[in-house]
Amino acid sequence: MDKKLLQSADAAHLMHPFSDFKEMVEEGTRLITNAEDAYIVDVDGHRMLDAMSGLWCCNLGYSRKEIIKAIDDQLNTLPYYNSFFQCTTPASVELARVISEIAPEGMNNVFFTGSGSEANDTNLRMIRRYWDLKEQPEKRIIISRKNAYHGSTIAGASLGGMNGMHKQFSRLDNIVHIDQPYWFEEGGDMSPEEFGIHAANALETKIQELGPERVAAFIAEPIQGAGGVIIPPESYWPQIKKILAKYDILMVMDEVIFGFGRTGQWFGSQYYDIQPDLLTFAKAVTNGYYPLGGVMVGDKVADVLKSGGGEFTHGYTYSAHPAACAAGLATINILRDEKIIEKMAEDTGPYLQQRWKELGEHRIVGEARGLGFVGALELVKDKASRARFDDKCTAGAICRTMSIKNGLVMRATGDAMIIAPPLILTREQVDELITKAERALDDTA
Ligand code: PLP
């Protein structure tokens, strides 16, 4: 493998997602060449513990041959067929059935897509169709949250609340954003519980301002992931549930990150005891080995869509791709058979959280928060005042340098450093993660 040739071809031809193209040309790309267990290896042979599971995908790590074999077997039997026009394949039917078994209660239908973004586009179409069939076509507005990430198609970016994305493209109409439940940054003098209620009540205020008869749905992640691992106070979700029920507004849970085990339950909705009407999934459904996303559709919505009749004029060429569905089945089988989620919830999850929270003592950490197998460190220059570093990119700089220097991949979002490691980490690997993260903090402080 000729590194220089690859890097110059990369600079000349490959436009990377979410990258500064100029920086890429000047700095050269990191080439990841192979991976095993929870580690990735770059072209120079640096081996790094991947505490981000790729891009929140590889909950089972990189070495699950069963998933690869399932994909291979499927490609050798039926490499492609579509699911359009009353047609489908056995793997997609079987995966829909199995997903209905593990889904939150009352979610017995699945619409497959190729990605999380496409799934959120699908949500918009389903929500519109649902209210039209219910003869309430004035229900058009979706409420989302600031700093949320819901994908990168125009609909996904509009649903998301990231200013940087909105600046580069105008947003779709009829999508509005309320504040996120970010206690560390916005809680002021309130206790987390007071702040949870306060943040949830912002939803009711917004509904009243818009007129409840115009509000179709609320979309949120159980925990805001790419937005900085914002863990809501305990009081937040119960209050949101009450408000949505009061005004007859659909609940869309985006579980692209938290689905398939990350909280210690199959879905974050189950962790927070939420019964969504629609649930977005992607990423870990195939352990990241094959592109697949989808929407789980609750009975309340599915019954209306099914009984309404007429074609639902929406779908993708790769909806329910058979090889992707085979990968999904193999992934779920491993998670079930090996009790991966239960083991993490009972043992390595609490252990990771205990050790992670020790990092909160570090002099440049204002808060170490986490749950299940996610965590965030809020970096501060001064612990008492919570003053931030002048250089907004400190977290980014640490993450970049520490991956090679310290052999650990984390990610920066604003002033936070975040982790979402594979659920299969052993206690020893958790210790390795903490030691390496601490070393990176020491190097900076
Ligand atoms: N929703 C959430 C919560 C996500 O984190 C992501 C991706 O990170 C998406 C949607 C979009 O998924 P995809 O990149 O598969 O389109």
pLDDT confidence of residue 24: 76
Query: DSSP secondary-structure letter at 214?
Result: G
CA of 156 to the centre of ligand 1 (A): 8
Pocket of ligand 1 (CB under 6 A): 115-117, 120, 149-151, 156, 221, 225-226, 254, 256-257, 282, 293
Q: Note whether 220 and 178 are within 8 A (CB).
A: no
In degrees, to the nearest 5, what angle opens at C-alpha 105 toward C-alphas 99 and 106? 90
Place of tokens 């809501």: 232
Concatenated DSSP letters for 21-36? HHHHHHH-PPPEEEEE
Task: State how far the Cα of 148 lies from the Cα of 133, in Å rounded to an integer.
Answer: 29
pLDDT at 444 over 80: no
CATH of 66-337 given 2.102.10.10, 3.30.565.10, 3.40.640.10, 3.20.20.140: 3.40.640.10
In degrees, to the nearest 5, what angle opens at C-alpha 272 toward C-alphas 270 and 278? 60
Concatenated DSSP letters for 102-153? HSSTTEEEEEEESSHHHHHHHHHHHHHHHHHHTT-TT--EEEEETT----SS
Query: DSSP secondary-structure letter at 232?
Result: P
Mean pLDDT, range 340-352, rounded to an integer: 98
Q: What is the mean pLDDT of the chain?
A: 94
Tally of CB atoms within 10 A around 28? 15
CA of 385 to the centre of ligand 1 (A): 34
Q: What residue ranges in 362-420 does DSSP mark as E strands?
A: 365-371, 374-379, 408-409, 411-413, 416-419
Using one digit for the tens of pLDDT, what is the confidence trace for 187-242? 999 999 999 999 999 999 999 999 999 999 999 999 999 999 999 999 999 999 99
Helices (H), 277-321: 299-308
Using one digit for the tens of pLDDT, what is the confidence trace for 67-79? 999 999 999 999 9
Q: Compute the CA torsion angle 225, 229, 233, 235 (nearest 10 deg).
A: 0
Task: State how far the Cα of 112 lies from the Cα of 102, in Å rounded to an integer.
Answer: 16
Phi, psi of 79 (to 5 degrees): -70, -30
Query: Which tokens hold the place of 26?
Result: 């000047």
pLDDT tier at 22, thresholds 50, 70, 90: confident
Q: Note whether 147 and 345 are within 8 A (CB).
A: no
Class of domain 31-63+339-444: alpha beta
Cα R_g (the chain), whole angstroms: 22
26 Cβ contact list (under 8 Å, min separation 6): none
pLDDT tier at 392, thresholds 50, 70, 90: low
Q: Note whether 79 and 323 are within 8 A (CB).
A: yes
Tally of CB atoms within 10 A around 97? 12
Task: State how far the Cα of 377 lies from the Cα of 375, in Å rounded to an integer.
Answer: 7
Neighbouring-strand partners of residue 370:
375
Task: State how far the Cα of 18 lies from the Cα of 263, in Å rounded to an integer.
Answer: 26
Using one digit for the tens of pLDDT, what is the confidence trace for 273-288? 999 999 999 999 999 9
Whose alpha carbon is nearest atom 2 of ligand 1?
A: 150
Using one digit for the tens of pLDDT, what is the confidence trace for 329-343? 999 999 999 999 999
Report the residue among 16, 113, 150, 253 best suited for mutation to probe ligand 1: largest number of ligand atoms under 8 A from its CB: 150
pLDDT confidence of residue 400: 67
**Among 381, 372, 441, 382, which Cα is nearest to 412's?**
441
pLDDT at 172 over 70: yes
Q: Note whether 444 and 362 are within 8 A (CB).
A: no
Neighbouring-strand partners of residue 176:
143
CA of 117 to the centre of ligand 1 (A): 6
Q: Tell me where in the chain the CATH 3.40.640.10 domain(s) lie.
A: 66-337
Q: Give the pTM.
A: 0.97
Query: Which tokens hold the place of 83?
Result: 């699911």
CA of 151 to the centre of ligand 1 (A): 5
Q: Tell me where in the chain the CATH 3.90.1150.10 domain(s) lie.
A: 31-63+339-444
Query: DSSP secondary-structure letter at 90?
Result: H
SS3 (DSSP) at 77: helix
